[in-house]
Structure 1
Amino acid sequence: MPHSSLKRAAPAKHGQSVYVGRQPILDGDGALVAYELLFRDSPDNRARIHDDVQATAHVVARTIGEIGVPAVLGPHQGFVNMSRELLFDDIVHIMQPQRFVLELLENITFDESLFKRCAQLRNAGFRFALDDVVKLDDALLAALPTVDIVKVDFLAADHGQLPALAAAVKRRGKLLVAEKVETHHDLLRARHLGFDLFQGYFFARPQVLSARRESPARGSLLRLMAVLAGEPGMRELEAELKRNPDIVVQLMRLANSSAQARRRRVSSLRDAIAATGTRQLMHWAQLLLYADGSGLPWRSDPLLQLVGTRARFLELAAEALRPADEAFSDAAFMTGIFSLVHVVLDMQPTEILDKLHLSAEIRAAILAGEGPLGALLGIARAAEQGDAPAIDASRHAQPSLDALTPAVLAKLQFEAAAWFAQHRMDQDEDDA
């Protein structure tokens, strides 16, 4: 995809409101135990969803970064709808396993790769709920070992099958949730069948929460990312963050979300940096920078997907050329990250790069395609477009790139795409 063809939405105005819906999930005594979190784009209590991936991305970004987990969930857990695509996305690792239940949509395809991914996430502490179950069939029985909770749609389910369905689920030790409970009769029947939790209009309609959007200036985010890329000390990072109060507000919310698992409250900027970790802070800054005008981060954004894959491709290529030169591979990664930032800000590349504290080599690579980094960037762009002659021209211009044969480049492209899809935030807890 040519990078010049990417268009960005108009940036959100500072002070614009953001919204999240939540519907309570109750136990048999009527006590609140959790909320299902729902996409809302206005104070109207209606779901206008055109894309499941985008809807969930908005819900998570707003709950964690803008409204705040304590305000949305209190001490309770949140059920979040997850498509198959999002299960393989970094969005999962922004959420704390102790606070969020991953709710698998009814149209998800279960196969070996999904079973493996769910096992990885369960090992990380997540629980899964299977959504909108309406009957007992082979597909349900195959999915049960992967999930912890089964949500049965009381409106759509075959009530003649409900006793067998409930019994089969309970025998396998799963928690049963009756959703779309709309009458007192529904509640009595669900209780009689052994359901554990209940959700529906009989108890409460979804509530819409809102907050004023905080929009950190993109110039500030660029500076923060440049500082983070240089492996800063705590004092340097604190100083940079203190120049950006909006970012600090979101960082404190993110850190306190992380700190819930440790049963301690983050109250200082230094504590927030330590609790979050520089790697997750870098991810968060990138998400904010590449978010569109509606606040959408994540891999559903084609620009974010392109820049992430390009940066990793350049890093891998640099490692292949100079295995012992970590500084070169780091510079290659940053060349990829900043090679598209002018598209985000709708400004000339020279104007943007003048605001960044990047090395002369990175700047020359992006602006003029000069040096080894510029040649690698040229190869990356040509590879994205499948332009074999351009790849050959870049290799011939720099004899040091001869090692990047077509077979090697194909392998690196595959590895870069896999890296982007398979998440690199698993160690954030250790970094924190």
Structure 2
Amino acid sequence: MDEIFVGRQPIYNRKLEVVGYELLYRSSLHNQAQFLDGDQATGEVILNAFLELGLENISGRYPAFINLSRSFLVGDKPLPFSHKRVVLEVLEDIEPDAAVIEALRRLARNGYIIALDDFVYRPELEPLAELAHIIKVDVLGVDPDALTERVAQLKRHKVRLLAEKVESHDEFERCKQLGFDYFQGYFFCKPNIVRGRSRPVNRLVLMNLLAELQRPETDINKLEKLVAQDAALTYRLLRYVNSPCVAIRRKVESLRRALVIIGANTIKNWITLILFTRIDDKPRELVVTALVRARMCELLGAAYRHEGLDRFFTVGLLSAMDALMDQPMEEVLNELPLVEEVKAALRTRDGHLGHVLEQVLLYEWGAWDKLCQSLDSLTYRQAYLDAVRWAGDSLATVMGSGGPSLDTARTA
């Protein structure tokens, strides 16, 4: 079977809620393009996302931002999908000639959302700005005064503004103050380390609960006493037990019965997951990242025929704790009574746990040429897709199916 790849990067609103994903072309395990043909790259992304992998597995219920070459825009090559759940990105190197302008008018009339990528205003680009719903601005390294002027110029148009390549908290706050509507960049998946700040009470409670959950001697009795202290946590857990995912014939109304039915190890993982959702000032995508890592670690651990798969799940889940807690990983580990095997995996990628976590992170980063070859590429790909699907289903169960939407109405 030929290998296929699609990268994705989340897009956030001002509340740090995910509202879409940009789909990115990737060529091989070596993470290098094998050709410079933009048409072929666009075609590969479309085919892989829609026909091979399934858009529902890549972006879930959120719209997918897809870069289009000129040929796909003007109709020389077919655009085989409807306007539903997609945003068409016009690349910055496409000249706005009459054919392109007319094509964008037609696409907009047919309901497609138009976004302009890496847009820098020039008078000849005025027709594009008039047709666009979203304008993406590369903010990396842009002088603050120049960015302020650029935003003021773009705000004369009825568009939503998206800040690309946001790489620090200061940049995010500055872009918010300037009036950007959406944000995209590496900052949202990196820890924002702040020293000397008192932590909110809910985080203190979270750390205490998480520490107890990681103790080897914790049993169902201890778990029941812990969970019972939080009514919202109890509600979410019971809602999950009574969902189609578990398929229990009779309604489960007792927390103890729920714990007995599902089993202690699974309950530990689920409670840890639900506790993560209690961190309410972080992007939801951080929780998604943690869940995808946890499930993929578990799946790859099974592929390697390792025992104790719950520990693989835990290592993957905790690998995002530094970002979630705004602390270096070492400080997080010092506060958790974890077994040394788990700590070594998170610190230095030692042991079986560390090796599997390293493979998951390499796959997440797109460094496919560095993956261990003892597992074939199809195993990695299937584990990742299964993990993405599982993470989406899990959050839908514990947090509800509702979510933020991408507001593409042209502003007044």
Give me the TM-score of the superposition, normalised by structure 2.
0.44
Give me the TM-score of the superposition, normalised by structure 1.
0.42
